[in-house]
Amino acid sequence: MLPMMLALVILLPLMAALGCYFLRVSAIRSLIVLITGICIAATSLVLLGGGSFTYSPGTLLGVSWDFLVTLADFSLLFVILYYAFKLKNQLIKIFAVLQIIPLAVFELFFVDHAVEVPAFYADSLALIMVAVISIIGSLICFFAIPYMKEHEEHLHLVNSRQPRFFFYLVLFLGAMNGLVLSNNILWLYFFFEVTTFCSFMLIAHDETEIAVKNAIRALWMNSLGGVAFVFGMIWAYTEVGSLSLQTIINAGPMGGLMIVPVGLLCIAGFTKAAQVPFQSWLLGAMVAPTPVSALLHSSTMVKAGVYIVLRLAPAYAGTFFSQGIALCGAFTFLSCAAIAVSQSNGKKILAYSTISNLGLIICCAGLNTPWATSAAIILIIFHAISKALLFLCVGTIEQGIGSRNIEDMHGLYLKMPRTAIITIIGILTMILPPFGVLLGKWMAIEAASSNMFVIVMLALGSALSVVFWARWAGILLTAPIRKKVPAESQDILTRFTLKTLAGATVVLSLFSPAIYTRLIEPMIGKTYDISAGVFTSPVGTYAVYPIFFVLAVAFVYAWLETKKSGNIQNSQSYLCGANVKEPGVQAFIGPMNKPVGLTSSNYYLEALFGEEKLTLWINFVALALIVLMLGGAV
């Protein structure tokens, strides 16, 4: 049974990807994506219910799977090298060679292939990741079916690129599941590289100059992470004598130069998670079609980075290096939240917010306590859902109004009421109690209570997050009251995906105490006391169910009052002069007796938080922190 389920979550996406590429009929491709998504989502839940396991797949027709993975790994590296020459990029060439040669020497002269290493290992963390990848990733693929059809209509393409697009999109899911389940570090590295290549191809999908440029940046930055991974892996093997990730972790905290291999593996995680100063590749990825952005930011790719850092946490617990990771994560959380304040592009707000929240998860890994680990896992779950929802909402809005600028979303409810309401729900779940993202932030701040530098950065970053989220929600709520606004027409898969994710953000938040007690507590031990849905720690409490009750009462009251206000006659606002009385015209009589149109916009404080103002400095500080983290640990 277990081999079949592993084949479903890892190999089925590969077979489905091939089907999407070669069976070039739209209806067949859509059916393949739907069936694959349902299968891997259902299988992930069965695996989650089954609990921890260790497994080795044996052979395929007498050939070792280790050999097949090694062969596939070198093939992929040579494909990357081919693209390096095709694109004439020296950095990608150098980083590809710096992986191929050491890996070949390692495989041929260092690794004892006679020693069997379990290929797969799963605990609650890995199984939660599989569920997040399989369920949310599948929903994003469902959304992509109608989205890409309209996307290509806007581009006026003669020949559809959807076969190639869905090949990499679906393959991504299998690669991520393989990554989080791998115990053999060579397997983990292979899946790490597959996600790098898939992201490169998906970012470059539209083949515009800016798309190719940003795809190249993503490839060389993640290839840099691949180099760090290879050298960290080789060094860890020489120190521990095993390819088993669990053996490396269970060797205990390392000191002196022995911390370097773990540090290099964490740097690989930093690049994959787009932590400052490696954030530019993920920001550039915003040029890709929206499903790609949603997949990269919510359930795959960047989550691979935080998974690696979190998975390795026991190997650096109690060291200076661990404190350095907490500082680096907290700094990323604060700095990217600050830059997000200056953004009006919806996708960029989501991108900076993603990097910021990933920094918070990595900070929790660095704090390295049971409380911090609880916070990290809660954040992984709920951030993935809310962020996937918001990215897909922005994509839907962009196709509806032709803009992703939040200033163009004033009065969106009158044009796209369904999408506007769902977007507001997504935003509120990012900043308000009792929803899961804020629960995770509360846990993180509680866990950092003994570290003054970290807790100050987390508090400031949380405050800045409220600024840009509340501003966006306020814009969406600026619409005159109407008795009845007709709902916009949506494809059934679009509507299903958005409603499912919106419902999941609320329902799973309601069940967050059960998620903690059933999934997190058995893995890390009891940290929080829970009674009547109230999380209690030595520092404070977070009342999930009581707040939900208050929220429900407030919602019902607001709904009733809104229905009453539908009959109220609104008077025109005073506009600093005599109002122009033409129907539907928002203007006043200004200087020279001429009408002046009404314009309104938000403050974005670019002089304080602008990208051009802060990016260079935060990159410099982040690089200094990383050097301090590695150097101080040694």
Domain boundaries, the chain: 1-317, 319-563+600-634
Tokens of 355: 């990097």
Long-range contacts of 620-628 (CB under 8 A, 24+ apart): 620/277, 621/331, 621/335, 622/275, 622/276, 622/277, 622/328, 622/331, 622/332, 622/335, 623/277, 625/324, 625/327, 625/328, 625/331, 626/267, 626/270, 626/277, 626/324, 626/328, 628/324
* pLDDT of 341: 94
Q: How confident is the model at residue 259 (pLDDT cuts 50, 70, 90)?
A: confident
- The residue among 19 and 299 whose pLDDT is bigger is 19
Closest C-alpha among 219, 203, 303, 223 to residue 268: 223
184: pLDDT strictly greater than 70:
yes
Q: How confident is the model at residue 20 (pLDDT cuts 50, 70, 90)?
A: very high
* pLDDT of 633: 61
CA gap 558, 590 in Å, rounded: 38
579: pLDDT strictly greater than 90:
no
CA gap 16, 10 in Å, rounded: 11
565: pLDDT strictly greater than 70:
no
- Chain CA centroid to CA 298, Å: 3
141-145, 355-359, 402-406: segment of lowest average pLDDT = 402-406
Phi-psi region of 479 (alpha: psi -120 to 50; beta: other; left: phi over 0): beta
Which among 59-73, 190-204, 543-557, 592-606 has the top mean pLDDT?
190-204
* pLDDT of 568: 61
Tokens of 634: 């040694």
Q: Angle at CA 251, nearest 5°, toward 249 and 254?
A: 90
**102-143: pLDDT as tens digits:** 999 999 988 887 788 899 999 999 999 999 999 999 999 999
387-399 mean pLDDT: 94
* pLDDT of 291: 93
Q: Cβ distance 307 to 179 under 8 Å?
A: yes
Cα four-point dihedral sign 295, 521, 449, 271? negative
Look up residue 298 and give its DSSP letter.
I
> What residues form DSSP beta bridges with 542?
535
Burial of 65-77, coded b for 16+ CB within 10 Å and e otherwise, reads: ebeebbeebbeeb
**413-435: pLDDT as tens digits:** 888 989 999 999 999 999 998 99
* pLDDT of 569: 60
* pLDDT of 634: 63
